[in-house]
Amino acid sequence: MSKVISSIAISGAQKVVGAVDSAVRQVIADKGSNCPVGFPDTAYYLPVIYSLLGHKVETLGDMLPVLDECKSLLAPPPSESAWLPYFGSTLDAGMATLFAAEMLEACKYLIGPSPVDGIWLGAASDVIIRERGIEFVDGSAPGFAAIVGAAPDVETAVKIARELQEKNIYVFMAGETGGISFAEQLVEDGVEVGWDTRLVPFGKDVSAAVYALGFANRAALSFGGVQPGDYARNLKYNKDRIFAFVMALGAVDEIKCAAAAGALSYGFPIIADTAIPQILPSGVCTYEHIVSNVPLDQIVEKALEVRGCKIKITKVPIPVTYGAAFEGERVRKEQTHVEFGGNRTPAFEYVTTKELDEVQDGKIEVVGPDVDDVEPGTALPLGIWVEVAGRKMQPDFESILERQIHHLINGAEGIWHMGQRDIIWVRISKNAKAKGFTIAHLGEILHAKLLNEYPAIVDKVQVTLFTDKEDVKKRLAQARRVYRERNLRVESMTDETVDTFYSCLLCQSFAPNHVCVITPERLGLCGAYNWLDGKAAYEIDPTGPNQPLVKGECLDPIRGQWKNINDYVYQNSKQTIKCFNAYSMLKDPMTSCGCFEAIVAMLPECNGVAIVSREYPGNTPMGMKFSTLAGMIGGGIQTPGFIGVGKAYISSRKFISSDGGHKRIVWMPKELKDSMREELLHIGEQIGIPEFIDMIADETVAMDDASIRAYMEKVSHPALDMWDITQPSPEAAAWDAKKAAAPVAERKPVEPVKDAPVKTAVPVGKPAAAVTAAPVVVSDAKMDGDLLIKMGGDLRIATPSQSAKIVMPGKFSVPGESVNMQVRTVTLGGSGTRTSAVTIGGASAFPFRHFEGDTGCRQVVAMEVFDQVSPKLPESMHEAYGSLLENPAEMAKYCVEELGAEAISVRLDGTHPDNGDKSPDEAAKVVESVLKAVGVPIIVTGPGNYDKMNDVMKQIAGAFAGENLLLNWAETDNYKTLTAAAMGYGHCVVSQTPIDVNMAKQLNILMTNMGIAPEKIMIDALTGAIGYGLEYTYSVMERIRTSAFTGDAMLAMPMLGTPGSEVAKTKESKAPQQTFPLWGSAAGRGALLEIATAMSLLNAGADLLIMYHPIAAKTVKNKIAEMNNM
C-alpha cells in the first residue's frame, strides 16, 4: 500500500515546506535577509543542504533558493484514478522535508526556542563528527538508529536502548509520541544520555531528526572525500557505509512520514512498531524500504536484518549489560559501592607472557576481600594480574594488551575505569553490585574479550585479582620493574634500530590512495596505531591492513626515504604516490587520510610551522578552521607544506627532522600546548632552550603571520635563525649534491641488445647513467679552471650545488597528466667492442616533469669528431680543441675522458663529393680509429649526398657489424639503403625529416614497413639553432612527443637533437668580436648559444644531443643531472 504512504508523505511534506516557507519569510521580515544563520561550530553550513545541494546557507536570504528547490521537489499527491508514478515523488518530497526541517532548526538557533535545552543537544559540532565519525569508519560503531517517537513505556524504551548500546549502535533521538519522547523515557529511568553513552537526544520536534542525517552527510564529506553537491556519491556512501535505520515508535503522522521518506534516499530503511503500510521490494535501500508492525521485543533484531548489518558481539559472562556504548558512562561517587586506586589505595594492572603450560585458561582468582565483604563507599587496593599465553604471543605485545584493559572493563554497565599501569582508578557501582557483579567479573571480562579480540596471539588467559594490601604492594613492585624495562625498550626503539616498518591501509576505504607508513618514531596519523600495534595487528591478521615493510636500501637518510617503502607506497596508492619521505613535510611528505589527530602546516612568513589539533574549534593562522584545512589536505594526497599527524609524533625525535624539527614550532592552540606541557618541556631541554614552550605562540598571542613573527622576534624564537624553511636543510642539500655528483641516476636498466651477444667489461644491467662512466672522471674544479683560463674567465659552468635554488612550491599540488603510451627505449652500443651502452627514451611524462610520471631515461650528451676540419668551423672550436680537431680518435678520447661525452658522433663530411669525396674505405678507417680509441657508443653522421651516404653507410655498417652504431641519417627520399644496412648489421638508424610531424610519422611507417624494429629508430625532427628556427623545431618535437603520449606508436621513438652542428653554422658563433663589439666575447657566444639551444631541445623532448663546445656540453650534462635528481 505504498500509494497510501505516498499520499501521506507528500501531503506532510507540503505542510512542512509551506510552514517553513512562511516562517523563514517572517524571520527575514524581522531580521533582514542578510542576517547570518547557521549551526554552531561547523564548517559545513547547514550540512544536509550543503552536502546534497552544494548550497551554502550563511544568511537568511540564502534560504530562499533552497525553499524554491523544495517546492520544485513537491509533486501533487497521487490522484484517485489514473495516478502518475509516485515512488520517486515520495522520495523527493522526503528530501524537501529534510531541507525544510534543517532550515527550521537553523531558524530556532536564531530566534529560539533554542535547540539546546535541558537534555536536548541540537546540532553536533565538527569536533563530534570527527571523533564519532571515525568509529563509523573503523567499525567500532556499526551504525545508528534514528528513533522517532516514544516507546509505549519507560521499561521498553530502556530495554531497546540497552539492546542497541550492547550492539555498539548509536541511538539518535528526535520527535515524540503523545507528548512523550524516547529520550525523556530513558532519562526518567536514570539512564545517562549524551554522546558519551551513544544515546543522543537531538530534539523533541521531528525536525530535529535532520541532525542525524546531517551527521551522516558530514561523515561522507569528511571521511568519504565526497565533494559538497555530489549528492549521488554522498547518498551511496551512506547506503554502503553508514548502516543506519529509522525506528518509528508509536503512531506515524504525516510529518514523521515525510521526514522518514527523506531517510529512504540515504538507504536508511524504516522499521515501525505500528501497522503502517510496508514497502518490501528493495532498490533504494539494500533490502526492504518499510517494515511495520514489528513486535518491540524483536524490533532491534529486525532492524539490523532489514539494514543488512552484521554485528559480532562476544557474550561476556557477567550479570550487567556489556557494550562499547558504556565506555563513556560515568559512575559518580554517590553511586559507587567500592572503588580502587585513584590515590586512595594502591592499584595497578599488568599483563605478562607465560608459557602455554603455565597458564590455566579461564582461571579467575580473587585474592582478598570481594564486594560483599565491604561497606558501600569503601576503597580497596587492586592488582589486576593477567597472564596470557599463545604460540604467537611476544613480550612486545604485553603493553598493547594491557592498554586494552581500560576500554574492556569500561564496557560493562555500571563499572568505571580510568588510567593505566599503576595509576588506575576503578569503580563498581551500587547498581552493578545489586545485579550481582563481583570483582571476579573483572577477570571474566578480560578473559572473554582478550581471547575474542586477539585470537591470533592469545590462546590462554588467566587472571588473578589481588585486593589485599600486602599482595598488591609486593606485586606492584614487580610490575613497576617491568614498566621501566618497557619504557627503556620503547625509548631505545628508533627507526634506525629496526629494519621493518608497518603499513596501515585501514583508511583506504575512504581515502583510496592513502598509505600510512608507521615507524617506531612516527605513529599512524590517526594516533591509534603505533609501530608495536602495527606489528601486533599483522600477527593477528596476516592479510589485514597492516603489513610489514622491510625498509630496504636507504635513498635519503636525511628526509627518511627507502627504496622498498617507495615501491610499496607506489603499488598501494594505485600508482599515484611515487616517493615518500618520512621526516619531511616539504618534499614528498606522507599523504593524509582524513582522521589525523593534528595538522602541521608551514608558515613561510614565520620560517616555521603551526600545529592545529582537531579539538581546536577556532580559526587558525592559516586563515581557516581545522575542518576546512582538513578537507583540503585529506583524501590521500600529498600536500607539500602540510601533513596530518598523530599527536604523539609531535614529541618524536623524528618530528619533521629534515625540515628543522621541533625548533620550527611557532604556533599551537593553547589547549594543545597545555595538554602536551610535559613533552614540550622535555623537548625544550633537548634542544637546549628550556623556555621553548613559552616561545610557541597560541591564539591568545597571535593569529596571523605578522603578529606571530613579531612575537617570535620578541621572544627570540630559534626558528628565526634557521635556514629558509621552503628550502632543503644544509644536510639535505649536501645529500642532494652528493647524490647528483655520484654517477647514479637509476631510471632504466640497460637492456642488452637482443640479437647481439654482449661481451663487454661493463656489466650490463647497471643503471643507464652509470654506463657513461668514462675511464677517467674529471672533477668539476679541474674542468672549471682549465676552461675558464682558456675562455678568459667570462663563463661559469653551472654546477648543481650553485644552481640548486629551485624553489619548492609550498602549498599546492600540480594535477598530473596521464598518458596512453610510453616512448620506446633505444639502446646504442653495449655490444661488439663497445664497453658501454646508452639507453634513451622510455618517457611517459614530459621532460623533467617528475611529479607527473616517469620521465624515462636520463638524456644523453654525445659529442662530435670530424673526418676533416671544415673551414667554416668557428674559431672558438679551434680554441677549445686545438690540434685535436685534426685527429678524430684523439679528440674522441678527449671528449669521453676529459669532457664526459657519453657517445661520440663521427662526422664524415669529407666523403661528400663536393667536399673531398673521400672513399667509403677511408671513412671506415676513420670510424675504426674512433672505435679503437673509445668504448662508448658511436654515431656515424654521413654526408648529405644520397648516393655517397648510401655507399659510405653500407660499407661502415658491414665493417662494424654488431657495434650497434647509430647511423645518422635516413630521410624520406633516401631511407631504404640505410634502413636495410641497419637491419642487416644490427645498428640503429636516425629517421630525419624537415620539421614536420606528419612527415616524421610517414618516414617511420615506411622504415618499419621494411621490417626494422621501431626500437632501432631515433627521430631527428631537424634542429634549428636559437634564432634560426628553433621555435619550429621545438613545437614539432613537442607535437611528436604529445602524439606519442596520446598513443601514436609511429611517433613513440626517442628524439635526437644536434645543437652543436647547427649553432656552429650561425653567424653569431663565428663573427669576430671586433666586427660586433656589442656581442661580447666571440669565444663564449657559440657556447652560450649552444647551451640555450640544447636546453630548449631537452625541454621539447630530445633524448640525445650531439654537442660541440666543451663548456656547452659539460654545462648541459650538469643541468641534465641536476634536473633529473630533483
> Residues 92, 126, 539, 1103: which binds other proteins (CB under 8 A)?
92
What x/- string results for residues 281 through 300 when contact with other proteins is judged by CB under 8 A? xxxx--x-------------
**Closest distance to other proteins from the beta carbon of 286 (Å):** 9
Contact 1102, 859 (CB under 8 A): yes
Any contact of residue 89 with other proteins (CB under 8 A)?
A: yes
Q: With respect to other proteins, which residue has the nearer C-beta, 213 or 923?
A: 213
> Residues 16, 91, 276, 797: which binds other proteins (CB under 8 A)?
91
**Closest distance to other proteins from the beta carbon of 732 (Å):** 38
User: CA 5, CA 252: separation in Å to the nearest integer?
Assistant: 10
What x/- string results for residues 218 through 237 when contact with other proteins is judged by CB under 8 A? -------------xx--x--
What x/- string results for residues 100 through 139 when contact with other proteins is judged by CB under 8 A? --------------------------------------xx
**Closest distance to other proteins from the beta carbon of 354 (Å):** 31
Any contact of residue 1079 with other proteins (CB under 8 A)?
A: no
Contact 936, 905 (CB under 8 A): no
720: DSSP letter: G
Any contact of residue 88 with other proteins (CB under 8 A)?
A: yes
**Closest distance to other proteins from the beta carbon of 54 (Å):** 13
Q: Which listed range, 16-24, 81-89, 714-722, 743-751, lies at the site for other proteins (CB under 8 A)?
A: 81-89
**Closest distance to other proteins from the beta carbon of 240 (Å):** 4
> Residues 19, 84, 434, 1010: which binds other proteins (CB under 8 A)?
84
Helix (H, G, I), strand (E, B) or coil at 580: coil
User: CA 200, CA 370: separation in Å to the nearest integer?
Assistant: 35
764: DSSP letter: T
Any contact of residue 90 with other proteins (CB under 8 A)?
A: yes
Any contact of residue 550 with other proteins (CB under 8 A)?
A: no
3-state SS string for 430-481: HHHHHCCCCCHHHHHHHHHHHHHHCCCCCCEEEEEEECCHHHHHHHHHHHHH
DSSP secondary structure string for all residues of 222-270: HHS-PPTT-HHHHHHHHHHT---EEEEES---HHHHHHHHHHHTTT--E
Any contact of residue 309 with other proteins (CB under 8 A)?
A: yes
User: Quick one: how far is CA 44 from the chain centroid?
Assistant: 23
> Residues 420, 431, 500, 509: which binds other proteins (CB under 8 A)?
509
Any contact of residue 78 with other proteins (CB under 8 A)?
A: yes
User: CA 174, CA 183: separation in Å to the nearest integer?
Assistant: 8
Q: With respect to other proteins, which residue has the nearer C-beta, 240 or 485?
A: 240
Q: With respect to other proteins, which residue has the nearer C-beta, 262 or 634?
A: 262
Find residue 504's DSSP bridge partners. Answer: 516
C-alpha cell at 1004: 617511420
Q: With respect to other proteins, which residue has the nearer C-beta, 284 or 880?
A: 284
Any contact of residue 87 with other proteins (CB under 8 A)?
A: yes
> Residues 41, 131, 196, 305: which binds other proteins (CB under 8 A)?
305
**Closest distance to other proteins from the beta carbon of 140 (Å):** 9
Any contact of residue 315 with other proteins (CB under 8 A)?
A: no
Neighbours of 554 (CB within 10 A): 13
Task: State which amino acid sits at residue 762.
Answer: V
Any contact of residue 356 with other proteins (CB under 8 A)?
A: no
3-state SS string for 643-669: EEECHHHHCCCCCCHHHCHHHHEEECC
User: CA 243, CA 285: separation in Å to the nearest integer?
Assistant: 11
> Residues 39, 44, 50, 86: which binds other proteins (CB under 8 A)?
86
Instruction: Give, as ranges, the residues between 366 and 385 that touch other proteins (CB under 8 A).
Output: none
Task: State which amino acid sits at residue 1115.
Answer: T
Residue 421 phi/psi, 5-degree rounding, is: 50, -120
Q: Which listed range, 37-45, 85-93, 360-368, 971-979, lies at the site for other proteins (CB under 8 A)?
A: 85-93
Instruction: Give, as ranges, the residues between 26 and 65 that touch other proteins (CB under 8 A).
Output: 52
**Closest distance to other proteins from the beta carbon of 135 (Å):** 10
Any contact of residue 259 with other proteins (CB under 8 A)?
A: no
Residues sharing a CB contact under 8 Å with residue 668, sequence separation 6 or more, in sequence order? 610, 611, 612, 613, 676, 696, 698
Residues binding other proteins: number (CB under 8 A) = 46
C-alpha cell at 245: 535505520
767: DSSP letter: B
What x/- string results for residues 942 through 961 when contact with other proteins is judged by CB under 8 A? --------------------
β-sheet with 364-367: strand ranges across: 347-353, 382-389, 460-466, 364-367
Residues sharing a CB contact under 8 Å with residue 108, sequence separation 6 or more, in sequence order? 114, 115
**Closest distance to other proteins from the beta carbon of 522 (Å):** 25
Q: With respect to other proteins, which residue has the nearer C-beta, 394 or 509?
A: 509
Q: With respect to other proteins, which residue has the nearer C-beta, 299 or 320?
A: 299
Residue 395 phi/psi, 5-degree rounding, is: -55, -30
Contact 651, 682 (CB under 8 A): yes
Q: With respect to other proteins, which residue has the nearer C-beta, 239 or 739?
A: 239
Estimate the crossing angle of helix 920-933 against helix 946-959, to 10 degrees: 50
Residue 601 phi/psi, 5-degree rounding, is: -125, 135
CA distances from 430 to 125, 340, 376 (A): 34, 14, 8
Any contact of residue 265 with other proteins (CB under 8 A)?
A: yes
Contact 702, 528 (CB under 8 A): no
The b-or-e profile of 413-425 (16+ CB within 10 A means b, else e) is bbbbbeeebbebb
**Closest distance to other proteins from the beta carbon of 258 (Å):** 13
**Closest distance to other proteins from the beta carbon of 86 (Å):** 4
Residues sharing a CB contact under 8 Å with residue 29, sequence separation 6 or more, in sequence order? none
**Closest distance to other proteins from the beta carbon of 73 (Å):** 7
Q: With respect to other proteins, which residue has the nearer C-beta, 259 or 1012?
A: 259
Q: With respect to other proteins, which residue has the nearer C-beta, 272 or 565?
A: 272
**Closest distance to other proteins from the beta carbon of 871 (Å):** 55
Any contact of residue 818 with other proteins (CB under 8 A)?
A: no
To which residue does cell 558530514 refer?
218
**Closest distance to other proteins from the beta carbon of 103 (Å):** 18
Q: With respect to other proteins, which residue has the nearer C-beta, 301 or 886?
A: 301
Q: Which listed range, 309-317, 491-499, 607-615, 1040-1048, lies at the site for other proteins (CB under 8 A)?
A: 309-317
C-alpha cell at 413: 554497565
Any contact of residue 304 with other proteins (CB under 8 A)?
A: yes
Any contact of residue 308 with other proteins (CB under 8 A)?
A: yes
To which residue does cell 623545431 refer?
1033
Instruction: Give, as ranges, the residues between 140 and 199 that touch other proteins (CB under 8 A).
Output: 142
Q: Are strands 347-353 and 270-272 parallel, antiparallel or unpaired?
A: unpaired
> Residues 117, 240, 485, 678: which binds other proteins (CB under 8 A)?
240
Q: With respect to other proteins, which residue has the nearer C-beta, 73 or 380?
A: 73
**Closest distance to other proteins from the beta carbon of 146 (Å):** 18
Contact 1036, 996 (CB under 8 A): yes
> Residues 241, 433, 893, 918: which binds other proteins (CB under 8 A)?
241
> Residues 32, 40, 65, 85: which binds other proteins (CB under 8 A)?
85
To which residue does cell 610510453 refer?
822
Cis peptide before 113, with omega less than 30 degrees from 0? Answer: yes
Interface positions with other proteins (CB under 8 A): 1-3, 6, 52, 73, 78, 81-92, 94-95, 138-139, 142, 231-232, 235, 240-241, 243, 265, 279-284, 287, 304-305, 308-312, 509
